[in-house]
Structures are given as structure tokens and as C-alpha cells.
Structure 1
């Protein structure tokens, strides 16, 4: 079931031999040690009159646990995502840029919106903000912010 093959071990030193890297791989070592622990727990359960798992489930538990431990001991490669920071870009000369945003507070069912107008130099020209004591969700607040851009005066 595990794909791990138990190497030839000396009867007197088999337990410590399993810990040697030249005897078996780290992954197989984990499987063997957790497997022995699982068998020991099964033995104790049987001796104390407790219900024991079927052998297949005990082996599967040993495999899963060994795999988890092996993953924890193996250095994981970290993937670095190359994301560029979002930055505000000015509009062409003679134009204005209208940025809108909405916020929603689900615990209270309330929201707010905001609108900002800037020219090509990035200087603030106009804006407005509005509080909504009743809101449906974040998407609705975003839509209301977009709609609210028409009512800004500056």
C-alpha cells in the first residue's frame, strides 16, 4: 500500500538501523516509524478492550501521517509572484479622471461611497462622499459610487 520496501535489517539493531540515512530514504523512514507507532497503538487498544481499527485504516492513517511529517521536514520552495503595484495614472492633458469607491459593513448593513476628480497633474479638483444607512452588499456600494459620480460638484 505504501510503496515502501523494508530493507534487510539485522535482528539486534533493526530499530536503530532504520534511523540511518544509508538504510532508507527520509520518506520511507517516516512511513516505517509511523507504521510501527500505529501497530503499537492497535496493540494497546486491543489489550485494553477498546475497539480497534481495521488494518487497512491503520495503514492508511500511517501513510497519511508519514506523508504530512515528510512534507513538514522538506523545505518548500516559495513562489514569488511578480505583481506590479497598482499606481494612479494621470489622464491626458486637458482631461479629468474620476475615481470611485464603495465600502460595505456587512455586520450593520451599512455602506459608504466616495468620488474624486483629478486633472492631469494629479491635483484634487472635486470630490464627494456619501453615507448609506442601509446597504445590500459591497457590489451595490460600488455601483452607487459609480452612479454618484454624476452628482459631484466642484
Structure 2
């Protein structure tokens, strides 16, 4: 139903546009508008996406619907010898409930297996009040720890760190 494509730096504006539609919708009942704006710039300004790709090792995968419209993205980053971090996974609100999140999650796992065939761990941070927590548990992830992580400007990410053995 969906197709996947590895993003390049030429896709930074596209990822930014997808984020502008999905990120605030995900967090509007959890975070203040000011924190959402701060995080959008911190994570999704095109220059910051480019930096993530070129300097920080993020690999973005873009999901497309059958009409070849981009509908979501996931990003994975290596962290150490046997750990990867699923940094971002978002689906446009209009496409939620169509299994695109599952598709993106499975593509992230497949990507990790393709670059690291040995057993490893995939971690992700999820806000403790995000309804996606249940999705991640359904996908086999378990809570490893929790924390309040300062991100600047007096803001924190209040997250569970979840893990999946791959």
C-alpha cells in the first residue's frame, strides 16, 4: 500500500513541510504552543535537518501513499556499536489509522538490519503523555527507563526511553 524512499539533503524542505503538519498535531494537547514552536525550529528547520543528515548520521525514510504523495517519515541514527535510535516517526494526521506508522516502523527495523546484521537494540524517546506509547508497546517495544531531558530555552522532553531487540 505504501512505498518508501531514502531521503537526501534535497528533501529537507519536504521533511520540514511534513513536520509542520504532523508534529504540532501530535503535541498540541501535551506541549505549550511556545515549546512546539521551539522544537519545530530545533528539530525541523531545513538547515537543522540537513545537519542531522550530514553531520549526525540521521537517515530519513519517506513514506508515500499509492497516489505517490508523501505521507510520513521516520529517521534512524546510530548510537554506539550496537544501538540505533529511532529519532522521529510521524504520519500526516489525514493518513493516521491507515497503518502507515506500522509501515514506517517496520521500514526502520529493516533499514537497521540491512546496515547492522548482528543483534542490536533500537531505542526511541516517547513523551510520557503521547498516545503513541501504546503503538510502540504493540510493536514489541518495552520501557527501559524514563527521564526529563533539557532541550534548551527552559524546555524539557519528559520521555520514556523504549527499546526493541533486533
Which TM-score bucket, shorter chain as reference? under 0.3
Q: TM-score, normalised by structure 2?
A: 0.21
The one of the two structures with greater contact order (alpha-carbon pairs below 8 A, sep at least 6) is: 2
Using the size of structure 1 for normalisation, the TM-score is: 0.22
Computing the radius of gyration over CA atoms, which structure comes out larger, 1 or 2? Answer: 1
Which has the larger share of strand? 2
